[in-house]
Amino acid sequence: MAAPPPPLTPAQRARSLQRAAEVRRERSEMLADLAAGRITLRDVLERKDEMVGRTLVRRLLECRPGVGKVRAARYLEELGISGTRRVKGLGSRQRARLLELFPLTTPTASHHVPGGTRRVR
């Protein structure tokens, strides 16, 4: 069993909390940009920074127009991706399949939905 990490000084703890808040804000902005169509899923998957790497794939799908929790779970199951998988843990084939499923750059175009095609508003 691993030893617990050493205790942090109040200054170290404050810096860690501030950094965590910054990362959450950056992730929130990225997901909002993805939802609004200002960036594409390809843009996100091509980024190599740690913030993107630690983002859950499920959250990327859920922020897409017309994709909620149920449909995101269905896509992940169809692709063989765990609901707790993070972007950094995706294999090259899984990334390619995600991009096949969501190749669009505009949120108003149609995309494949298991069981049919749906027009996204």
**Structural domain harbouring 49:** 39-105
Evaluate whether residue 82 is within a structural domain. yes
Evaluate whether residue 47 is within a structural domain. yes
- H or E segment at 109? none
CA atoms lying within 13 Å on the CB side of residue 9: 2
Q: What is the pLDDT of residues 30-84, one digit of tens each?
A: 999 999 989 999 999 998 889 999 999 999 999 988 888 999 999 999 999 999 9
Other residues' Cβ atoms within 10 Å of the Cβ of residue 65: 16
Evaluate whether residue 30 is within a structural domain. no
Mean pLDDT (whole number) for 26-30: 95
Report pLDDT for 107: 44
Whether the CB-CB separation of 89 and 76 falls below 8 Å is answered with no
Evaluate whether residue 4 is within a structural domain. no
> Domain of 46: which CATH number?
1.10.8.50
Nearest to 43 by CA among 51, 35, 34: 34
Considering the entire predicted model, what is its pTM?
Answer: 0.74
Task: Dig out the tokens for 89 from the structure.
Answer: 């843990």
